[in-house]
Amino acid sequence: MVQTKLRSLAPKNDVISFLILAAILLVALPVLFDIFRLNLIGKYLTFAFVALGLVLSWGLGGILSLGQGIFFGLGGYAMAMFLKLEASSPENTQIQSTPGIPDFMDWNQLTELPWFWEPFHSFGFTVFAIFALPALFAYIIGAAMFKRRVGGVYFAIITQAIAAILTILIIGQQGFTGGVNGITDLRTLHGWDIRTDSAKYVLYFVNVVLLLITLVAAQYIRKSKLGRLLVAMRDSEDRVRFSGYDVSNFKIFIFCIAGIFSSIGGAMFTLQVGFMSPSLIGIVPSIEMVIFAAVGGNLSIFGAIYGALIVNWAKTILSESYPELWLFAMGALFIAVVLAFPKGLAGIYESHVQPWVDKKLKAIQKKKAEK
């Protein structure tokens, strides 16, 4: 019975896909690329956390959020605040007029650390905040919207507006947040220099392991009763409601899970890249995050990761030569995927590649049986 349940949660094809992905991320990429490119790939993978959350909320639940940058930023800023406080010890900030506070606060003539920064002296609280803040924020947004049966396009626009408001708020409060520059010059984690090549290798592998754990959690949700209910809600919300289920609570829950996934990605982004700024929270980055999931396939958890990798790689290549063309290319890519490949790369694989692989495997098995 246990084996049957495990097979239902992890079909053979999904196990093979997981092993292939793990081999690519843990073995092939570190062997093929130098630390500079590997660090870039690590940055791309932090957006894959967001794409995984979008597969659950948008692909399965039909909840399209155009403001996932909010949660990415909450996790990123929580980690950045801890690292900045560690880099702002009285010894490191002796030249400031007020030693012991972050440099941008001193530049803005603050003379003491704001009260809401104090808890981020603790790494334990910071980790707690990376999970709790996005969950609380998503619950407030979700409860306010879903309890009133606000959904579809209206929900997407509202989340986009919240992302824009949060960006403006962060930029406007320069003395507390670092303003448009964000929180920069992050150096150590508990005394461990995160800027060295060896640290970047370690952080890359930590990032990949966390991503694979998140993928397993997403797979469990997708195959569980909750996953089936989400699909039913997406296809016919009223039928699920008339069956006695509280649709709004399920929507709030999966929106919170998507927010937590995004927040983990944001925290890992800060650790690997060494800064966090409002440019990663607003409308454009939030739409880009939706495109990652759309290109990979908004119904495929594996496709979401490949989508985040491919789109970000294309962005890097195109931006190096034609930086002004990226926004146009992104818009064209989104339209092309929606019109021509509604299931993204995962749909192409399922329609063309998988049948060919299955046919070859059957032929090999048949030959073995004949011998």
CATH number at residue 189: 1.10.3470
Q: Is residue 348 part of a domain?
A: no
The Cα 371–Cα 369 span in angstroms is 5
pLDDT tens track for 187-206 = 899 889 999 999 999 999 99
Instruction: Write down the H helix ranges in 10-68.
Output: 12-23, 29-32, 35-54
The pLDDT value given to residue 3: 60
- In a domain? residue 359: no
C-alpha–C-alpha distance, residues 330 and 294, integer Å: 12
Q: How many domains does the chain have?
A: 1
Q: What is the mean pLDDT of the chain?
A: 89
What's residue 84's pLDDT? 94
> What are the φ/ψ torsions at residue 276 (nearest 5 degrees)?
-145, 135
Q: What pLDDT, on the 0 to 100 scale, is given for residue 348?
A: 82
Residue 141 lies in a domain: yes
Determine which of 97-111, 152-166, 224-238, 339-353 has the lowest per-residue pLDDT on average.
Answer: 339-353
Is the pLDDT reported for residue 368 higher than 80?
A: no
The answer to the question of residue 360 being in a domain is: no
Q: Is the pLDDT of residue 326 over 90?
A: no
Q: What is the pLDDT of residue 39?
A: 93
- Label residue 10 by pLDDT band (50, 70, 90): low
CA distance 176 to 179: 8
Q: Is residue 353 one of the residues assigned to a domain?
A: no
Note the pTM of the prediction, 2 decimals: 0.92
Domain assignment of residue 228, yes or no? yes
Asked if the model's pLDDT at residue 121 lies above 90, the reply is yes
Residue identified by tokens 């306010």 is 144
- Where does the pLDDT of residue 30 fall: very low under 50, low under 70, confident under 90, or very high at 90 and above? very high
Structural contact between residues 64 and 237, judged by C-beta atoms closer than 8 angstroms = no
Rounded to whole angstroms, the Cα distance separating 183 from 117 reads 13
Residue 119 domain boundaries:
33-340
Give the range among 3-12, 107-116, 304-313 with minimum mean pLDDT: 3-12
Residue 6 lies in a domain: no
